[in-house]
Chains A and B, each alone.
Chain A
């Protein structure tokens, strides 16, 4: 038996394994992490599908994810296998045919929130259950390698994000927070799920930063609904944090409420906070910072810089120096923005009156959904533009004077959303200015991420369930396909046998598209059934 095991092990190591450098390199045939690369670009160098031939894109296969109703998962692809998650489950699908290879489900998991995707490292697939287990599976067979709990749902924490794995550390975070909890980001060992470090997003009583809170600090929120990005050279993780709790009632938590609605720069090895930048101090509109910190190197104000870009729910588009956290610039992301006059040169919003939630309500733009949200953005080095889905929408914000009680789904008030239009915008990171925009028809409900390619094409979703291809240069619509239901996930690009595909999860299924090719009839094999 021992000998059999040994030879198995040898065989496993002789086979290709996903390593740091593969993910750093960025996508090609494979798509190895949520955003394709550590720096959050959602960009593919594949160029078979171009602005000129995108009109010939057709669906190649559809995989209906069992029981799925609102998928938000972004697939990963490795060596011809596409891995997609749903709540407490993972499916491995032949990326060429759409046929399932294996599935893993944990129906006994408590809670049932959305899941945003899987991660891959060496020869294992990782994902988290909604009740905070890190699950590692054999990438070929789906066999369980380990299942480790990293946090208690009893403390208000759930898990939704796709883990990011770097240097053998699986980075996970805490979702929840709109009913009171204490947010954190954690590193777990990719080998066995052991905890390596844990950094809270809200300080403990008495710690630095706790003076920006009142008595409710232990339930302050600051969730990590999304995963973040990573700069391998700086060995730094960039993770955004959620809103403070109670969401709409700020009177019980006077102060800035650090480190909520912020971007944190954490050392990958220790989890130590190198710097933080708070976009919305003392937020009362649920404008958490849950959208992607995109890492690029570019000229800003005449100087070459390592930059982190962030299109925030509060309606502003920020550029920070990602080495120091220095605020560089903020521009307006959306047109309908009523709560702040602008951002001052320290990076703090210049507030306008009558923007706070009140018992009778105040009309504020953007709405509670925010100017943008969790869907993936794409940075295309060819055009030098960042493509961000935005929402022009306003709403009423109410405050409840009820005594806030944690863990009771109580958020200190409420908000409405009225009308609204989704607009895909191309932003120039150098200036922060809009270069073009693509307005959509729809109810202001859909939140499709974008992916862009070296072929000069952007793939995204219209607000009415059409998957679309746009010209990355000017936003011209090149192609559309009606998936017949909502699109609330982000697309990815991969190739098998040198053929380019683009895949996206709709509400209930995964669709994969490619260029039209006539069917090739073939001689069927002899199939023999043997007793």
Chain B
């Protein structure tokens, strides 16, 4: 999923897919009790095909890192559970409305924006981890105008990504196949200068690169002598070891809270 999201940056024609829409005001969404009830139902009737964590099985697709193109919204999930997907193995159900919403709440907890779900951990402690030297996240990432410019802005990461995807981004950043839009690059120009940074976009004719100071350079390939592109992520791959379980949990709680639509006061959260 994340590889896709990054590829979208480079191929914006596809960027309209709202992959994690949450469009429902049903009180079940984000309610821990409803989610617990939904989990039970899911384990009983759905996990056999979709896997116990919604991660996909032999007979049903992954509901978290989805490969289907249409956007998944709460209301759409409700309809899918009720009516099934005709012509496929996805069966219709005869559940009551509130039971169906409990299931939606559970699926939403896997696939919906982290900020709309209950997340364990201490966000205030996670803030220290994010901005601290041990993790060093802010050397590369920014939140609300502070931090580095060599990696995606995380001001809205909780408002746009499910918790599972954020966790995976931190623990297994090298899992993606393409880093287009975030490629670490070194450019040697014909005039002898060298620029190191992130290639936001590139073609055979032009290159758009942001350096470590956050400045944008717009280059023509005719000016470039040599371009070295990293095939893997520049994000450290050892956070699973570097951070304690508590640190990781709290960091996730902090990131889950980064949602620009919940932001009312300015600046620091």
Contacts and interface: CB of A to CB of B under 8 A. Distances in A.
Interface string B233-269: 0000000000000000000000000001101101100
Contacts of B156: 144
Interface residues of A, number: 50
B231 A194 contact: no
A140 B216 contact: yes
B196 interface: no
Nearest to A109: B261
Contact of A144 (B144, B200, B206, B216): B144
A312 B252 CA distance: 56
Contacts of B232: 531
A80 B229 contact: no
A148 B218 contact: no
Contact of A96 (B12, B203, B218, B261): B218
A6 B28 CA distance: 45
B15 A103 contact: yes
Contacts of B226: 525-528
Given A520-B222, A531-B232, A94 B208 contact: yes
Interface in A125-142: 138-142
B100 interface: no
A525 B200 contact: no
Interface in A186-236: 192-194
A107 B18 contact: yes
Interface string A518-531: 00101011111111
Interface in A2-60: 4-5, 8, 11-12, 15
B52 interface: no
B80 interface: no
Given A8-B213, A530-B229, A149 B155 contact: no
A346 interface: no
Nearest to A191: B266
A142 B149 CA distance: 10
Interface in B175-228: 200-201, 203-206, 208, 210, 213-216, 218, 220-222, 224-228
A276 to B, nearest CB: 33
B200 A1 contact: no
Contacts of B222: 520, 522
Contacts of A142: 153
A1 B214 contact: no
A147 B260 contact: yes
A517 to B, nearest CB: 13
B204 A524 contact: yes
B47 to A, nearest CB: 30
B208 A99 contact: yes
B57 interface: no
A146 B142 CA distance: 12
Interface string B128-172: 000111000011001011101100010110010000000000000
Q: How large is the interface on B (under 10, 10 to 19, 20 to 34, 35 or more residues)?
A: 35 or more
Contact of A141 (B12, B144, B149, B206): B149
B29 to A, nearest CB: 14
Contact of B145 (A91, A144, A526): A144
Given A5-B146, A141-B153, A144-B145, A66 B21 contact: no
A254 interface: no
B45 interface: no
B88 interface: no
Contacts of A193: 266
A526 B215 contact: no
B266 A1 contact: no
B260 A527 contact: no
A101 B261 contact: no
A4 B139 contact: yes
B41 to A, nearest CB: 28
A99 B203 CA distance: 9
A215 to B, nearest CB: 33
A106 B260 contact: yes
Contact of B16 (A67, A102, A527): A67
Interface in A493-531: 520, 522, 524-531
Nearest to A99: B201
Contact of A100 (B21, B201, B213, B228): B201
B260 A144 contact: yes
A5 B131 CA distance: 11
Nearest to B198: A141
A179 to B, nearest CB: 23
A11 B13 CA distance: 34
Nearest to A10: B213
A480 to B, nearest CB: 28
A144 to B, nearest CB: 4
Given A66-B16, A81-B216, A1 B159 contact: no
A108 B19 CA distance: 12
Contacts of A96: 206, 218, 220
13 contacts: A4-B139, A91-B12, A100-B201, A106-B260, A138-B142, A140-B149, A143-B142, A526-B225, A526-B227, A527-B228, A528-B229, A530-B229, A530-B231
Interface of A: 1, 4-5, 8, 11-12, 15, 64, 66-67, 80-81, 91, 94, 96-97, 99-103, 105-108, 138-149, 192-194, 520, 522, 524-531
Given A66-B16, A192-B267, A528-B228, 9 more contacts: A96-B218, A101-B200, A105-B15, A140-B210, A141-B200, A143-B145, A144-B156, A529-B229, A531-B231
Q: Which 9 A-B pairs have the closest CB atoms?
A: A143-B153, A145-B145, A522-B222, A97-B206, A144-B155, A525-B224, A140-B216, A11-B213, A147-B260
